[in-house]
Amino acid sequence: MTATLSLALSSGEARVLHKTLITDGNPVYNTIRRITAPAMPVIDKTAEKPANKSLQCFENSENSRPSSLIDRIFRTHQGGKIRVAGKFLIDNPESLAMAYTPGVSRVCQAVAADPALAYRLTGKGNSVAVVTDGSAVLGLGNVGPQAALPVMEGKAMLFRQLAGIDAWPICLDTQDPDEIVRIVTAVAPGFGGINLEDIGAPRCFEVERRLQDTLDIPVMHDDQHGTAVVVLAALLNALRVTGRRLDQVTIVVNGLGAAGIACCQLLLAAGAVYLRGCDKQGLVLTGRPEVLHHSRHRLPHLIRYDHPVGTLRQALRGAHVFIGLSVGNVLTPDDLKLMGQDPIVFALANPDPELPPELGYRHCRIYASGRSDDPNQINNLLAFPGMFRGALDARATTFNEPMLLAVASALAALVPVRSLSGHYIIPSVFDPHVVPSVANAVSQAARDTGVARHAAQTGQPQSPNRYLTVNITDN
């Protein structure tokens, strides 16, 4: 099914309808946003032939393919999920001369004289590179750059659909930190932000830090910080439900990879006091509260992977919160009996959570997972589109800790206090308020901390959709 919305501009103004569809074709939500733009013809390419001819070949010969290739998932991915589209039509010599040579040379000269004009005269200010080395893809592990490409394409779609950002997959055939930093630094002039994705620990920490030190655009490893802000937001609301404060509870984080360490760091920044970290070796992160708090930015150096001081079961004794970013089925109902009253369990391992949902809802005061088919889905999709939208709008030079804390607070606030319950501690990824709220929080925090290069525009929409034709396809 293909739905197309084509809108002609009148006096530089258009009304754009966004419709997000779920798999059965029913609309999840509709929003109408008013935007302003210079008058230009609208391109309606609904009947356009596929740019990738393999899609056409697939349609004509599906009977000769293995059955696994003709299910809906493979059909959705066949030929790729993204493509480049122009914002206006080049259909005569005049439009060609303006969009390309010779007219484009004037724009090149202007940008050469004032590089800041690239944000206004090119797509740089609305473009994000999604960079991976394929070393830690989903729960699949080190599958390499080509096998990572379907994930990066999906992420690019989400950037575009949810936040109006043009995202470009860059899959690198190297896992050497020096090479990754060199390549990303070399391509950075064409982008307004860098999203590092599915790069394994510990080199992801080094790659992110070096790029943040080198570049003057925001760089974020989403597996770390996108996960951390959503976990913190959900925990703040879970604690409200149980009537406790962050500085009163003991938290066990199991799985000290990229996401686990980032969660520990942000929890400490938000005011967590009693924190224990476990990995497959056992309890490997402990310390006095003041030491952990002041050393949070160098937390990986405090983790004693080779010298555990206890087991996961020992770490759980008396704990109020378990945050799992490890492997499936490591918790049992007997383990939960070791925890304090009204245990909160975030079982976020993918695809199988640390505690199965049927046990979690039975034995926990609050249970959350990364699954979309259960309540309380903790998904970094709640964070990264709005975070980059806000950073691009403010032309931020980096993502900093106050910006991350602001995002967590904004997400938590989207669940009204009167609606909070054990089954509702975090908004849905389809809530149309998520991206604008997160973007506003990031932009404001960037300005408050002096890393924004662009002043707020009163009365202007935070997340303008720059396309005037919206194609929604359900394969």
Cα distance from N-terminal residue to C-terminal residue, the chain = 7
- DSSP string computed for 114-154: -GGGHHHHSSGGGEEEEEE-SSSBTTTB---HHHHHHHHHH
Torsion of CA 293, 299, 304, 308, to 10 degrees: 50
Q: Please tell me the distance from the alpha carbon of residue 315 to that of residue 285, in angstroms, as a whole number.
A: 10
CA angle, residues 339, 254, 346, in degrees to nearest 5: 65
Q: How many CA atoms lie within 13 A of 248 on its CB side?
A: 9
How many of the other CB atoms lie within 10 Å of CB of 53? 10
Residue 10's DSSP bridge partners are 13
Residue 360 phi/psi, 5-degree rounding, is: -65, -45
Q: Please tell me the distance from the alpha carbon of residue 427 to that of residue 368, in angstroms, as a whole number.
A: 12
- Please indicate whether residue 367 is annotated as part of the active site: no
Tell me which DSSP letter residue 189 carries. G
What tokens were used for 270?
């938000």
Q: Please tell me the distance from the alpha carbon of residue 128 to that of residue 277, in angstroms, as a whole number.
A: 33
Q: For residue 87, give every residue at least 6 positions away whose Cβ sits within 8 Å of its Cβ, in sequence order, or none.
A: 40, 43, 466, 467, 468
Catalytic one of 124, 155, 274, 367: 155
Q: Please tell me the distance from the alpha carbon of residue 103 to that of residue 86, in angstroms, as a whole number.
A: 17
Catalytic one of 29, 53, 100, 305: 100
Q: Identify each DSSP E strand in 286-388 by its residue range.
A: 321-324, 344-347, 366-369
Single-letter amino acid, residue 212: Q
Between β-strands 2-6 and 274-279, what pairing exists: parallel, antiparallel or unpaired? unpaired
At residue 196, the 3 state secondary structure works out as: strand
Closest CA to 316 of 295, 302, 330: 330
Residue 221's DSSP bridge partners are 196
- Please indicate whether residue 45 is annotated as part of the active site: no
Question: Which residues are catalytically annotated?
Answer: 100, 155
